[in-house]
Structure 1
Amino acid sequence: MAALAVVALLPAVIAVAQLGRIHPDEVFQALEPAYWRVHGYGVLAWEWRDGIRNWAVPGVLAAFLKLAGMLGITDPQGYRAVTAVPQLALHAWSLWAVYRFTARRTGVSGGWLAVLLVGLYGPVLVFAGRTLAESFSTSFLVVAMEALDRRERETRAGLLGGAALGLAVVTRYPSAICVLTALLYLLVARRWRMLAFTCLGGLVVAAGLGLLDHLTWGSPFHSFFTYVRFNVLSGEAAARFGSAAPGFYLLPLVTAVPGWAWVAVPLGLGAGRRGVSLPLTCAAVYLGVLLVTAHKEERFLYPALVLGVLAAAPVVANLLTTRVPPSARWGVTAMALVTGLVSARWFPPQDLRADQFRAIVASTRMGGATGLLIVNEGLWGSGGFFYLGQRIPWLTCDWPRDDAFQRGLRDRTFNRAVSFEDRALPELQAGGFRIEKRIGRETLLVRD
C-alpha cells in the first residue's frame, strides 16, 4: 500500500512543483472558475456564459480553495497544492482499481506490478495531476472498469461501476461513449444483474447532475444538452477550433503507447475464457469515434491510452511473473517501466510553459505588485487570476507595438512584467523595468 501511495502522489507533486498547463482548459475550465466562485472575480471563458459546462469540478475545487484560505495559505502554488488533494485521492483510487483488476487475473505480485506499469506510465504521470476533464474522467473510468469486471457481489459492484461511469460523464461529457460501450458489453455478456444495478448507479449520478444544472443554469441537464448541440449536432466545434483527418492521431499513438503495450494488447485479444476485456473494448470504440470526429486534439487520446494500458497490464504482468526467468525478471521489468516512462517525452506534444507560470507566481510572491504585463502570451495561455493570486490588473500581448504593451508601459500601475524568451526586453528596460530574475526561458522584471 505504501508503494501505491507513493506512485499515486507523483503526478500531483509534478503538477504542483512544475506548474504550467497542458491546455488552457486546465486553468479556465477548472481552476479559474473555482477561484471566481470563492473570490467573486476571475476570468470566465465563454463556456461559463453559454452554460456549456457544469459546476461539479469547479465546485469541488472551490471547496478546497476555501479550505486553503481558512488555513491561511495565500501563495498560488500553495493553494494549488491544496486543490490537488481531491484529484490525488481519485488517482489513488484508480490505481487501487488497477491492482484489483490485474490481481484477479495474475495474483498479488502481478497486481502490484500492474500498479507500477500503469502508475509510472508517462502520460499518466503528466495528466493525472492536471485539472483537465480528461484527467478526472479517465480515473473514474478505470474505477468503473474494475467494478464491472467483478463476478462477486454484483449488486454492490454494479452500483459502484454505474456511479463511476456517471461521474466520468459528469467530469467529461464525451466519456458517454465509454458508458454506452460498457452497457452494451454487459448486455452482450448477458450479465443482467450487473447491467441493472449499473444503470441504477448511473441514474443516481445523472439525477445529481440534473439538479446541479437546475440550480446553476436554471434547467435540468442544461450543460449536457448545450454541449451536445455545440459539439455534436451543430458542427460549431470543428468550425471554430478546426478539423483534421484521422491520420492526425497516428504520430501521438505511435509515440505515446509503450512498447510492451503494443505487444500485450494483441495478445490480450484472446485472454482465455474471459475474451476481450471491457477496458480494451471501451478503448477501441472510443478511439474509433475520435477518428471520425472532425475536431481533434492530442489530449483527447488520453482516456483511450490509459484504458488500453489497463487492458494490457495483466498480460504483461503475467508474462513477467510466470514466464520470464527469475534471473532476468528485474531487468526486463525495468525495461518495461522505462519504455512507459519515456513516452512522456512526446505526449502531450505541447509546450507546458511551466516556467512562465512559475514566473507569474514569483511576480506577486515578492510583494508590492500592483499590475502585471505578460509579453508573448495571450489571455487563454496565461494563468488567470488563480496563479496571480491578487486582484490587480494584468495584460497579455505579443509585440511592443500592441496596444496592451503600450498601455502597460505608460501606466506605472504595471510594475511587474514577465517576458518569454526575452521578447521586447529592450523596450521594457527603456520603460523603466529592470531584470529581477530569470526563470527558465522567462525573465521577471520590476520597476519602481
Structure 2
Amino acid sequence: METIRARLKFGNKVEDVKLRKRKSQLYNKEDASPLNSGVLGGNVALFCVAFRLVNCFLVQTSFVPDEYWQSLEVSHHMVFNYGYLTWEWKEGIRGFSYPLLFAFIYKILHFINYDSVYLLIWLPRIIQALLAAFADVKFYLLIQTLENPDVAKWTFFCHLCSWFSWFCCTRTMTNTMETTLTTLALFYFPLPGSKTHSSKKYLSLVALAVIIRPTALIVWLPLLIYHFWQEDNKLRLITRRCVPIGALTVMISTLIDCLFYDKWTLVQFNFLKFNVLHGVAEFYGSHPWHWYFTQGFAVVIGPHLPFFLHGCTLASKRYRILLVALVWTIMVYSLLAHKEFRFIYPVLPFCMVFCGISLANLKTWRRAAAYGLLVTNLFPALYTGLIHQRGTLDVMSRLQTLCDISSVPGRPQPDVLFLMPCHSTPFYSHIHCPIRMRFLECPPDLGEEGYVEEAARFFDEPLNWLRISFPYKSSLPTHLVLFDVLEKEISAFLEGNKFVRTAEIFHTHFPEGRVGGSIFIYERH
C-alpha cells in the first residue's frame, strides 16, 4: 500500500510540473509582443547601453541653447582658456559642477593629444547616453521589485519608446542630468513594497540633482515630505542623513564654484535671486499659467497620454505619491511666467509607471496598443532627432573648415559674424580653434537705465545697424551667417560690400519669426 501511495504522489507531482509547464508555454504564446523578442530575456544592461548609444547618434539636431552654452562651451573655456561665457557665469548663477564632468574629459583628450573637434562634440553625448542607460536599468529593476514581470516589462517598454526621452536623454543639458539623477534616486526611494530602499543613496542623488539644477527640489519636495511622514525615526533621518548629506554636497559644490569663479559664490542663492525674486527668466519669454496643462504636458508625454490617464485609474495606492509629485511639479512651474517643455522632463519616468500598468491590463488589445504606441512615437523621435532644427549644428561643421584657412600664411584671418537670434548656434566647443567669431548679444536688463539688447536693436533696423557698426570696409567680417528670412532686408549691404552666398543649409520645415527654414553663409570677396 505504501508503495502504491508513493507512486500516486510521484505521479501527481509529475502531472503538476507538466501542467505548470503547459501553462507557461500558453502564457508566453499569448503574450507575444515587441518585448518578448528575446531582448529582455538576455542582458538588460547590455541592451540599454546599445539602445542609448544608437539613440545618441540618431539625435543630430539642436533643442535649446543651454545644451551648449551652459555645458560644453563652459567646459571648453575651462580647459582651453578661450570661448565665451554668457552673462549667467559673470553673475554667478550657474554652477561649475556639471561642466566640470565634461571638462575632465576634455582635459584627458588634451593631455593625450586627441582633442579633435569630433571627440569634443560626441564624447560628452556618449557619457550622457551611458548615464541614461544606467538609469534605464535601475528603473526596470525598480518596477520588477514592485510589480509582476508582466507589468515590469510593459512599463519598461513604455519608458524606452517615449519620443521625448529619446529626444532629450543624450543631450548635454542640466535638465537631462536632473532627470537621470531623479530616476536613479527613485530606485532607492522608500516606495511601499520597494526592496531597494536606501535613504543615504537616494538623498545623495537628490542633493546632487539640486546642486546641478536647483529646481530639482520642486520635483522632490513632496517625495521628501512623504518619506519624513512615513519614517519611524524622524530625528535620525534628519540628523544622520538629511543634514550631513545636504551640508557635504553644498560644501563641495561651493568649493568647486569658488575655485573657478575665483571668489566667494553661492550659486544656489544667486539662481533663486535672479530667476524667482527678480524675475529675470521672464526676459526669455512667458506663457499663460495653464500652458503646461493645455499644451506642455501633452507634448512631453506624447502618444502615451491615454495610457497614462487609464493607468491612473488602475494603479495601487503605493503610486499615489508619484502622482502627487507630478501634479505638484506642474502646478509650481505653472506659477512661473517662463515655461519650457524640458522643465517638466524629470517627471516623465513617473508617468511611465502608470502607462505600463495600463498596457499590462489591456489584455486583448495589448499587442495592438503596443505597436500603435511604438509607431506613433517613432515618427516624432526620428523627425525631431534627425531633421528638425539641424541647420545650426551643420553650419558649425561647415565653419570648422575655416580653422585650416586661419593657419595659412598670407590668407586673411577668418572673422565670422552671426546675424541670428543670440545663441542660435553652438560656439567654440564646436569649432575648437580660436578664430574670431561674434554674435548678437542679448543679456537681460539687470537694472541699466535705457537698456536695449544688441539683438533687439539689430532686428529693429538691420540695415542701419550694419552701416553704423561697419563704417569702413577694413572693419567688415569675412563671413556672415544668417537665416534666410533676413536676406532680403540686408541685401543692399550684402551687394554693396561684395558678399557672396557660399552655402545654403537646411534647418527646419517650420520657420517661425526670425528663425528661417534655411541658414545662409556669405563670404566677402
Is the structural similarity TM-score above 0.5?
A: yes
Name the residue aligned to 2:363: 324
Alpha-carbon distance in 2 for matches of 1:368, 1:442: 22
1:323-359 deviations in Å (ceiling 9; x for gaps): 524xx644321112234445659999xx964212211
Name the residue aligned to 2:173: 132
Q: How has the CA–CA distance of structure 1 residues 233 and 424 changed in structure 2, closer, same or farther, with 3 Å as cutoff?
A: closer
Name the residue aligned to 2:505: 439
After TM superposition, the structure 1 stretch with the greater mean CA deviation from structure 2, 351-360 or 170-179, is 351-360
Name the residue aligned to 2:434: 391
1:29-85 deviations in Å (ceiling 9; x for gaps): 111111110111211111111111110011111111223334544553431101223
Name the residue aligned to 1:378: 421
SS in 2 for 1:54: coil
Alpha-carbon distance in 1 for matches of 2:158, 2:196: 28
CA contact (8 A) 2:58 2:382 kept: no
Alpha-carbon distance in 1 for matches of 2:522, 2:351: 45
Any gaps of 5 or more consecutive residues in structure 1? none
Alpha-carbon distance in 2 for matches of 1:396, 1:311: 44
- Show the 5 A alignment for 1:338-353: 338-341=375-378, 353=389
CA contact (8 A) 1:101 1:149 kept: no
Name the residue aligned to 2:159: 118
CA contact (8 A) 2:482 2:519 kept: yes
SS in 1 for 2:215: helix
Cα distance, 1:128 vs. partner? 1.2
Name the residue aligned to 1:237: 281
Task: Work out which of the two has the higher radius of gyration on C-alpha atoms and give 1 or 2.
Answer: 2
SS in 2 for 1:368: helix
After TM superposition, the structure 1 stretch with the greater mean CA deviation from structure 2, 65-74 or 405-414, is 405-414
- Show the 5 A alignment for 1:68-147: 68-70=109-111, 72-108=113-149, 110-147=151-188
1:176-218 deviations in Å (ceiling 9; x for gaps): 1123222101123336589567625444433322332343446
Q: Does 1:312 align with 2:312?
A: no
Alpha-carbon distance in 1 for matches of 2:128, 2:232: 32
Q: How has the CA–CA distance of structure 1 residues 336 and 27 changed in structure 2, closer, same or farther, with 3 Å as cutoff?
A: same
SS in 2 for 1:438: strand
Alpha-carbon distance in 2 for matches of 1:252, 1:409: 48
Tell me which amino acid in the other structure corresponds to 2:405.
Answer: G
Q: How has the CA–CA distance of structure 1 residues 84 and 409 changed in structure 2, closer, same or farther, with 3 Å as cutoff?
A: farther
Cα distance, 1:172 vs. partner? 0.7
Q: Does 1:303 align with 2:369?
A: no
Name the residue aligned to 1:226: 270
Alpha-carbon distance in 2 for matches of 1:33, 1:6: 29
Alpha-carbon distance in 1 for matches of 2:504, 2:430: 18
Name the residue aligned to 2:90: 49
Alpha-carbon distance in 2 for matches of 1:32, 1:404: 31
Tell me which amino acid in the other structure corresponds to 1:5.
Answer: V
- TM-score, length-normalised on structure 2? 0.72
Name the residue aligned to 1:66: 107
SS in 1 for 2:159: helix
Q: How has the CA–CA distance of structure 1 residues 55 and 380 changed in structure 2, closer, same or farther, with 3 Å as cutoff?
A: same
Name the residue aligned to 1:415: 478
SS in 2 for 1:41: coil
Name the residue aligned to 1:209: 253
TM-align CA RMSD: 3.4
CA contact (8 A) 1:279 1:310 kept: no
Q: How has the CA–CA distance of structure 1 residues 333 and 10 changed in structure 2, closer, same or farther, with 3 Å as cutoff?
A: same
Alpha-carbon distance in 1 for matches of 2:203, 2:265: 18
Q: How has the CA–CA distance of structure 1 residues 330 and 374 changed in structure 2, closer, same or farther, with 3 Å as cutoff?
A: farther
After TM superposition, the structure 1 stretch with the greater mean CA deviation from structure 2, 64-73 or 177-186, is 64-73
Q: How has the CA–CA distance of structure 1 residues 247 and 274 changed in structure 2, closer, same or farther, with 3 Å as cutoff?
A: closer
Name the residue aligned to 2:10: none
Any gaps of 5 or more consecutive residues in structure 2? 1-43, 407-412, 441-458, 507-517
CA contact (8 A) 1:361 1:388 kept: yes
1:412-439 deviations in Å (ceiling 9; x for gaps): 8843443322743855466444444432
CA contact (8 A) 2:71 2:173 kept: yes
248, 251, 267: which is aligned to 2:291?
Answer: 248
335, 348, 355: which is aligned to 2:372?
Answer: 335
1:246-297 deviations in Å (ceiling 9; x for gaps): 1222222233323434333453366335251x43332221111111223323
CA contact (8 A) 1:186 1:192 kept: no
1:65-123 deviations in Å (ceiling 9; x for gaps): 22333454455343110122331222112211221222223444543443332233111
Alpha-carbon distance in 1 for matches of 2:152, 2:495: 58
After TM superposition, the structure 1 stretch with the greater mean CA deviation from structure 2, 359-368 or 184-193, is 184-193
Name the residue aligned to 2:8: none
Q: Does 1:27 align with 2:68?
A: yes
CA contact (8 A) 2:300 2:345 kept: no
Alpha-carbon distance in 1 for matches of 2:224, 2:218: 10
241, 244, 262: which is aligned to 2:306?
Answer: 262
Name the residue aligned to 1:289: 332
Tell me which amino acid in the other structure corresponds to 1:40.
Answer: N
Q: How has the CA–CA distance of structure 1 residues 446 and 347 changed in structure 2, closer, same or farther, with 3 Å as cutoff?
A: closer
Alpha-carbon distance in 2 for matches of 1:404, 1:119: 52
Alpha-carbon distance in 2 for matches of 1:147, 1:223: 28
Name the residue aligned to 1:358: 394
Tell me which amino acid in the other structure corresponds to 2:329.
Answer: Y
CA contact (8 A) 1:11 1:129 kept: yes
CA contact (8 A) 2:314 2:357 kept: no
Alpha-carbon distance in 1 for matches of 2:54, 2:253: 31
Name the residue aligned to 2:189: 148
Q: How has the CA–CA distance of structure 1 residues 407 and 10 changed in structure 2, closer, same or farther, with 3 Å as cutoff?
A: farther
Cα distance, 1:237 vs. partner? 3.5
1:144-165 deviations in Å (ceiling 9; x for gaps): 11210463364xx222211111
Cα distance, 1:173 vs. partner? 0.6
SS in 2 for 1:418: strand
